[in-house]
Amino acid sequence: MKIGRVLILVALILILGIATAFLWLRRSAKPSSSGGGGALATPEAAQNLLSVVVAAQPIRRGTKITDAMLTTVDLPADRVLAVQLTHPKDAIGKLAVRDLAQGMFITKGDIAEKLSVSAEGSLASLQIPPGAVAISIPMSRLSGVAYGIRPGDHVAVLASFPFVDVDQDYQSVLPNKIAVVLPPQTTEKGQSTMTAGVQPSEAPMGRSLNDDNLGVPFYVIPSEAQRARLVSQMLIQDAAVLYVGTFPLTPQKPVQVTAEGQQGNNGKPAQPTPPPAAQGQQQGETQTTPQQQNMPPDIITLVVSPQEAVTLKYLMDRQVPLTLALRAGGDTTKLSSEAVTLSYVLDTYKVVVPAKLPYDIQPRLDQVVPPVLKNDVQPVQPQQ
């Protein structure tokens, strides 16, 4: 009987120990009432996390964002701002408004369908394809297709070169001037100079000829300055027009988005950026441009290759006249052209050079002058 009581007592002690251990383990598995996370996360805690979009790599301003450039991280829902993106699809296909460092949270203010001018860069730079550059050249009503060119058009660039003959050593236009070599001279004191002198002359250098009829030599000099030999050619087949005239000089202040995503500069609500035309009318912030003064543009900006930009720079420095030819919209075919000279015009269009005849028409005609019509004559304003 004593052995049976002992066994029953031992069994009760084991049961109480197991029960105590079970209760202690269950209590330790529950999260503390102070809000700190326990060793095991409950489904309720997992539901309080929210994914936000992060830049997976550095993204340069103006870059079109792709899925490979983005990643997501989980943050507690109460720490996610309203301006932060929570899904990559909200940013894919958009343009980066500013440079985004790797690991930076992307907000609604960091992306846009189209970019506007800001302190971090110009709108013009975002419209230039990679590998190309923009350069401005002079433009007039005649060289600019009567001001019919608009941004987004494509043009060809034509140039005319007036060639003249030059002395290869002096690099001066021929003919050279004549200088007379004088023999050694004797001074008033009877002394002779050791070297010959040179007396310059303004007479042009000519050439000696013999008259076959009289057998007399004579010297022929030019009757006028050398005439340039003109050639015209298409240098650039396809250049995109970035802008016509002078760009607006209005500096746009970028809007700073706060944590709430509702305020702009100085705590005021952020306003949409007005277009350039409206910007020029705000409190005299800008310098007026020729377009704002209804003046015709005298400059145009083209998007070309780097080598074409250097070519245009050289031609402008050499004061070579440039003319623009407007291309058809959507035409991407390669243009073919030949250099045009006087010989090309005569041969291609079968122009006949008039023969020397023993008669002519009066009055004398030295150059073709358009006729003056009655309606073309401007009335003379009476003097006040």
Round to whole Å and give the CA distance between 160 and 339.
10
Residue 5: predicted pLDDT: 72
- 149, 297: one domain: yes
- 157, 251: one domain: yes
Percent of the chain with pLDDT over 90: 41
- 137, 252: one domain: yes
Round to whole Å and give the CA distance between 352 and 347.
9
Residue 278: predicted pLDDT: 35
- 52, 171: one domain: no
Residues 6+ apart with CB under 8 A from 316: 137, 138, 322
- 318, 246: one domain: yes
Determine, yes or no, domain membership for 373.
no
Residue 168: predicted pLDDT: 95
Residue 238: predicted pLDDT: 96
Residue 188 pLDDT level (bands cut at 50, 70, 90): low
- 212, 264: one domain: no
Determine, yes or no, domain membership for 101.
yes
Residue 16: predicted pLDDT: 73
Phi-psi domain of 60 (left: phi exceeds 0; alpha: psi -120 through 50; beta: other): beta
Q: Is the pLDDT of residue 76 over 60?
A: yes
Q: Can you read off the two tokens belonging to residue 65?
A: 């964002």
- 139, 80: one domain: no
- 169, 63: one domain: no
Residue 330: predicted pLDDT: 86
Residue 267: predicted pLDDT: 37
For all residues of the chain together, what is the average pLDDT? 79
Residue 39: predicted pLDDT: 44
Task: Please tell me whether the overall predicted TM-score, pTM, comes out greater than 0.75 for this model.
Answer: no
Number of domains in the chain: 3
Q: Which residue has the tokens 């894919």?
A: 92
Sequential DSSP letters for 11-54: HHHHHHHHHHHHHHHHHHHSPPTTS---SS--HHHHTTEEEEEE
- 157, 56: one domain: no
Residue 69 pLDDT level (bands cut at 50, 70, 90): very high
Determine, yes or no, domain membership for 203.
yes
- 137, 222: one domain: no
Across residues 325-330, what is the average pLDDT? 93
Q: Is the pLDDT of residue 296 over 80?
A: yes
Residue 273 pLDDT level (bands cut at 50, 70, 90): very low
Residue 65: predicted pLDDT: 92
Determine, yes or no, domain membership for 107.
yes
- 107, 84: one domain: yes
Residues 6+ apart with CB under 8 A from 179: 198, 199, 200, 201
Q: Assign residue 90 the CATH number of its domain.
A: 3.90.1210.10
Task: Tell me which residue range forms the domain holding 111.
Answer: 44-115
Residue 256 pLDDT level (bands cut at 50, 70, 90): very low
Lowest mean per-residue pLDDT among 84-93, 182-191, 248-257: 248-257
Render pLDDT for 100-133 as a digit per residue (tens, 0 to 9).
Answer: 889 888 988 888 887 665 546 777 887 788 789 9
Determine, yes or no, domain membership for 4.
no
Determine, yes or no, domain membership for 354.
no
Lowest mean per-residue pLDDT among 92-96, 193-197, 210-214: 193-197
- 56, 151: one domain: no
Residue 372: predicted pLDDT: 84
Residue 19: predicted pLDDT: 72
